[in-house]
Amino acid sequence: MKEQCQRCKKIQPGCITIYMSCAYDMTALNIPFRSVVIQGHIQDRGRIFHTVRACKDCRGDWLEMIERWFSNIPRKPKVTEDNVLKVRGEDRLIEEFG
């Protein structure tokens, strides 16, 4: 069955539903999420899932971005005892005084 991908708007077969659940109000994002409650999950209290229908290419992009986010841990700057902020950048150590 062909249907429209909510992201790229192309009409094609193979769209699937991506489910996402978190404590944040995902409807605040500029993404056309639909909210569904699935019972029998998390001690039978039900849980709200935010869903979006996506084609094969768009769901691949979704997964790639999650992987990129997970692998890209920002480094926190280190402050020495004498309040020197050391920041690593472009293979050299930069010292800034606070």
Q: Using CA atoms, how far apart are residues 33 and 79, in angstroms rounded to an integer?
A: 42
- How many Cβ atoms sit within 10 Å of the Cβ of residue 54? 20
- Tens-binned pLDDT, residue by residue, of the chain (98 aa): 899 999 999 999 989 999 888 777 787 888 888 888 877 655 556 678 889 999 999 999 999 999 998 998 877 666 666 666 555 544 444 455 44
Q: Using CA atoms, how far apart are residues 82 and 53, in angstroms rounded to an integer?
A: 54
- Give pLDDT, residue 57: 95
Q: Which residues contact 49 (CB under 8 A, 6 or more apart)?
A: 19, 20, 21, 35, 36, 37, 38
- Give pLDDT, residue 17: 93
Q: Which residues contact 88 (CB under 8 A, 6 or more apart)?
A: 75, 94
Q: Quote the tokens at residue 2.
A: 């062909």
> What are the residue ranges of helices labelled H in the chain?
56-71
- Give pLDDT, residue 54: 95
